[in-house]
């Protein structure tokens, strides 16, 4: 009688009891094998198996009384032919923990000995010859004495984390919109923002509402979508609760997510990368002390990505290659955006990356691909502002035509609002793509290429935000950043131009950009700081106009001038009549600067109150165009109120 016995994926029969088999290398060498252990039917698959992903389980206090066990994450799976990319710990439910492989670079002396002596080491595949080896850990021997040296994850730290968890479940994690409001915020995010920065996958959001990862994703998605004008009627954190202002709503969500991440509740580094990167992009500081939090979160995202080895290329057959590429591209783009927004040094360098950037960009969806192409241009522009690289002659970075970039990425079918949002980012890079020597940085007459490119790009940003697509854009942080650059360009014209017509044109553009930033000051911290200082500048200009008008015997055009009917009042002198006629025409035009058309050499800024720190204003606005020289824009509210 023949009896057929089932076998598992490795070819071993599925019996109730099995004898441990040595690995193939140890079997050939007839050595005792410590690399494999007995595998029972129904146990979790080992790390490296393509059929099951390593996960992390940890007991969490939950508001539900049914269970205190919460599954936290599902990291990137690996195959036996490629290096692992997730250092998460897998718990098979029986108390045994399996640790993943660790990477040792060729500069590490341990790598040479490990590669020569270990049977389970493999060289990385990111480049011909590799840059190091992946070493599978040796499981501890049975009966081995544990070290008396306390580990980094000591019992005292775990005790503190246990105390923090109760606070998280009672105060931080419940801070999220109710399902009806979250449905609207989620739609806004995945329609307008996630296509441009796909750090999250919509199917990855679990339907189990009590999972910490899912709650954190809901909070970050709601935080990002709150900047959209459509979300104003859905900013609440309790069912049927009162509507909150954007600042209150965003501050509540940002503090909750940041506190949860700091507590160590999330241990899956893949989700730590995603959440840290998303929070770095969308969180908004509320005061000067919090202004470095976005840059800090960016460094955390880069740190976890390096720990996972996301910067190292994987084989084409890797089941999660596309997701790894997308996450890495998001972190790389965020690193460049953070460098531009906050004047920070770039943390990811091409010499440390095993991926081919062109191939990674081509593998992305059209909206994200177009964003990456713009970020790639920004990366070249940042090189102009690095320390010690200030040129002795004008430098102009050649930029491709934006329309051609759209066609190259296959984005011609994208919505107009999406393309307009990316066009603002493109023109922001165009403003920064010109560099002048230090001695002419504040000249009244900049270089021809610099002047024309900056002026046209600034005008396009103002037109798109204020006229063409008002309320329709993807309100991501590079929108107010572009408007603030346009504000700086108009300030430069108003400040240094010697021709009254151009000074007047610069002032009108300055006012218009100020109004645009003021409409977004409850969404973005940078808008609020720029508005505070710009309003102080305009107030000081009005004071100077009134003072000069009084000194020259002319009417104060900050007030409405009423014409004097003929035949009434005292007889006026010809000079007074001409002054009144000129003032009336200037007031009707809504432009008090026409007062100085007759005096083109007058310097209005030279008549500011001596107590007004005009040098700080110049440094701030000019530094906005030269982010390598001024990075303390978050201190402006302390100076300007």
Q: How far is it, in rounded angstroms, from Cα 260 to Cα 257?
A: 5
pLDDT surpasses 50 at 584: no
Q: What does the pLDDT read at residue 190? A: 95
pLDDT tens digits, 101-134: 666 777 777 766 766 666 666 666 555 556 677 6
SS3 of 242-267: CCCCHHHHHHHHHHHHHHHHHHCCCC
pLDDT, mean of residues 332-338: 96
Whether the pLDDT of residue 27 is over 50: the answer is: yes
Distance of CA 542 to the CA centre of its chain: 38
Which of 87, 621, 36 is CA-nearest to residue 303? Answer: 87
Q: Smallest Cα–Cα separation from 376: which of 344, 348, 403, 343?
A: 348
pLDDT band at 574 (very low <50, low <70, confident <90, very high): low
Q: Where is average pLDDT lowest: 343-347, 352-356, 386-390, 526-530? A: 386-390
Task: Report the greatest alpha carbon distance in the chain.
Answer: 132
Does residue 619 surpass a pLDDT of 50?
A: yes
List the chain domain ranges. 1-43, 365-476, 535-640
Helix axes 500-519, 448-463, angle to 10 degrees: 40
48-52, 557-561, 599-603: least confident range? 48-52
Q: Given this model, what pLDDT does residue 98 score?
A: 40
pLDDT at 207 over 70: no
Provide the pLDDT for residue 241.
85
268-285 per-position pLDDT tens digit: 999 999 999 999 999 988
What is the predicted pLDDT for the residue at 84? 41
pLDDT number for residue 521: 83
- Asked if the model's pLDDT at residue 255 lies above 90, the reply is yes
Q: Does the pLDDT at position 639 exceed 60?
A: no
282-313 burial, b at 16+ Cβ within 10 Å, e below that, comes to bbbbbebebbebbbebbbbbbebbbbbbbbbb
For the ranges 178-192, 477-491, 544-558, 568-582, the lowest mean pLDDT is seen at 568-582
How many angstroms separate the first and last alpha carbons of the chain? Answer: 92
DSSP state of 115: H
Share of the chain above pLDDT 70, in %: 63
Stronger pLDDT, 187 or 147, i.e. the higher one: 187
- Which of the pair, 357 or 7, is modelled with greater confidence? 357
Q: What is the mean pLDDT of residues 450-466?
A: 92
User: CA angle, corner 375, sides to 372 and 381, nearest 5?
Assistant: 155
CA nearest neighbour of 60 among 182, 215, 178: 215
Q: Give the pLDDT score at 129.
A: 57
The crossing angle, in degrees rounded to 10, of helices 269-282 and 293-308 is 150
Cβ neighbourhood burial of 178 (10 Å; 0-12, 13-18, 19+): middle
What tens digit of pLDDT does each residue of 310-321 get?
Answer: 998 888 888 899
In a 10 Å sphere around its CB, with 0-12 CB exposed, 13-18 middle and 19+ buried, how is residue 63 labelled? Answer: exposed
Binned at pLDDT 50, 70 and 90, residue 153 comes out as low
Q: What's the mean per-residue pLDDT of the chain?
A: 75
**Stronger pLDDT, 78 or 146, i.e. the higher one:** 146
- The pLDDT, as a whole number, for residue 329 is 96
Q: What angle do CA 8, 11, 12 make, to 5 degrees?
A: 75
Of 183-187, 427-431, 511-515, 633-637, give the lowest mean pLDDT range: 633-637
Read off the pLDDT of residues 395-432 as tens digits, 9 standing for 90 and up: 788 999 999 999 999 999 999 999 999 999 999 999 99
For residue 292, the model assigns a pLDDT of 87
- The number of beta carbons lying within 10 Å of the beta carbon of residue 79 is 17
pTM for this entry = 0.73
Q: Supply 43's token pair.
A: 């146990």
Q: Write down the pLDDT at residue 39.
A: 42
Most trustworthy range by pLDDT among 160-174, 193-207, 354-368: 354-368
Mean pLDDT highest for which of 137-146, 329-338, 568-577? 329-338
Structure confidence at residue 47 as a pLDDT band (50, 70, 90): very low
């Amino acid at each position: 009688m023949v009896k057929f016995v089932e076998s598992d994926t490795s070819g071993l029969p599925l019996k109730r009891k099995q004898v441990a088999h040595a690995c193939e290398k140890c079997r050939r060498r007839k050595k005792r094998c410590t690399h494999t252990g007995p595998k029972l039917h129904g146990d979790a698959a080992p790390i490296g198996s393509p059929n099951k992903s390593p996960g992390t389980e940890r007991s969490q206090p939950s508001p539900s009384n049914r269970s205190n066990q919460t599954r936290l994450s599902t990291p990137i799976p690996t195959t036996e032919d490629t290096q692992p990319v997730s250092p998460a710990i897998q718990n098979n439910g029986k108390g045994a923990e399996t640790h993943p492989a660790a990477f040792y670079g060729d500069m590490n002396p341990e790598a040479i000995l490990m590669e020569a002596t270990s049977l389970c080491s493999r060289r990385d595949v990111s480049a011909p010859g590799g840059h190091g080896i992946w070493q599978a850990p040796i499981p501890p021997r049975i009966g081995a004495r544990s070290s008396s040296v306390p580990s980094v994850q000591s019992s005292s730290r775990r005790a503190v984390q246990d105390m923090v968890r109760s606070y998280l479940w009672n105060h931080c994690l419940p801070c999220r919109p109710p399902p009806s409001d979250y449905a609207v915020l989620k739609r806004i995010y995945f329609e307008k923002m996630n296509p441009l920065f796909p750090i999250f996958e919509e199917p990855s959001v679990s339907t189990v509402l009590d999972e910490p990862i899912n709650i954190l994703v809901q909070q970050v998605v709601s935080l990002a979508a709150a900047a959209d004008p459509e979300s104003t009627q859905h900013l609440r954190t309790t069912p049927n609760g009162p509507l909150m202002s954007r600042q209150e709503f965003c501050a509540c969500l940002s503090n909750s997510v940041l506190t949860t991440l700091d507590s160590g509740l999330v241990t899956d580094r893949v989700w730590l990368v995603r959440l840290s990167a998303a929070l770095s992009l969308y969180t908004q500081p509320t005061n000067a002390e919090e202004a470095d939090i976005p840059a800090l979160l960016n460094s955390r995202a880069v740190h976890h990505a390096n720990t996972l080895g996301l910067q190292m290329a994987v084989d084409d057959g890797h089941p999660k290659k596309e997701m790894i590429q997308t996450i890495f591209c998001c972190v790389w783009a965020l690193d460049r955006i953070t460098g531009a927004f906050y004047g920070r040094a770039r943390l990811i360098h091409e010499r440390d990356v095993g991926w081919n950037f062109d191939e990674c960009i081509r593998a992305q969806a059209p909206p994200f691909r177009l964003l990456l192409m713009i970020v790639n241009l920004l990366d070249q522009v940042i090189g102009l502002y690095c320390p010690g690289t200030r040129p002795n002659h004008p430098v102009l970075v050649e930029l491709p035509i934006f329309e051609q970039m759209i066609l190259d990425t296959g984005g011609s079918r994208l919505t107009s609002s999406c393309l307009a949002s990316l066009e603002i980012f493109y023109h922001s890079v165009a403003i920064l793509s010109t560099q002048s020597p230090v001695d002419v940085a504040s000249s009244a007459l900049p270089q021809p290429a610099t002047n024309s490119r900056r002026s046209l790009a600034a005008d396009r940003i103002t037109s798109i935000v204020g006229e063409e697509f008002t309320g329709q854009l993807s309100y991501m942080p590079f929108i107010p950043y572009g408007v603030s650059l346009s504000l700086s360009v108009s300030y430069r014209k108003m400040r240094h131009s010697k021709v009254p017509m151009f000074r007047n044109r610069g002032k009108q553009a300055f006012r218009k950009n100020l109004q645009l930033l003021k409409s977004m000051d409850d969404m973005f911290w940078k808008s609020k700081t720029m508005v505070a200082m710009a309003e102080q500048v305009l107030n000081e200009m009005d004071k100077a106009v009134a003072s000069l008008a009084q000194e020259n015997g002319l009417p104060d055009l900050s007030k409405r001038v009423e014409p004097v009917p003929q035949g009434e009042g005292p007889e006026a002198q010809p000079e007074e009549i001409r002054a009144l006629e000129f003032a009336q025409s200037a007031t009707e035009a809504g432009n008090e600067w026409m007062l100085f058309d007759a005096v083109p050499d007058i310097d209005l800024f030279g008549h500011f109150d001596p107590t007004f720190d005009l040098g700080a204003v110049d440094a701030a606005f000019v530094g906005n165009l030269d982010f390598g020289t001024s990075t303390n824009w978050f201190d402006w509210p302390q100076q300007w109120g």
